[in-house]
Amino acid sequence: MGLAKPNSNLDNQNSKVRKIAIFASGAGSNAQKIIDHFRGNAEVSIAVIACNKPGAGVLNIAEKEGIPVLMIDKEQFFRGDAYVPFLKEKQIDLVVLAGFLWKIPEALISAFPRQIINIHPALLPKYGGKG
């Protein structure tokens, strides 16, 4: 996966560290690539890895990399805004869905307008899955 270099001209707060929350459900190969890409970058940090699956490989990656983990409970997640306060407290700038297998509640989308991106593992719309 090739990632573009971060644009430091996103707004007039160029000195602010951009904080990313990675949401993942599985092995974490995309999460690892994102972590590796931004390693040593003073402008970007991976602030948290959110996971909805106990035992997922991405949890091992988080531990190895020293990144805090947010375990997502299904009932709370689909209530809508249960995790928004935590993400806001962490001052998350960007949510990256890197193999996260649940539909994102509207409240979370509304809390992070134009700040959520999804990595899809196949050609869209041909292989869109159940959603």
DSSP 63-117: HHHT--EEEPPHHHHHTSSTTHHHHHHTT--EEEEES--SPPPHHHHHHSTT-EE
Q: What is the pLDDT of residue 8?
A: 43
Q: What is the pLDDT of residue 120?
A: 83
Fold for the domain defined by 18-119: Rossmann fold (3.40.50)
Domain ranges for the chain, please list them.
18-119
Q: What is the pLDDT of residue 129?
A: 74
Q: What is the pLDDT of residue 97?
A: 98
Per-block average pLDDT, block size 10, for the chain (131 residues)? 51 76 97 98 98 98 98 93 96 98 95 95 80 59
Give this prediction's pTM. 0.85
- Active-site residue numbers? 120
Q: What is the pLDDT of residue 128?
A: 78
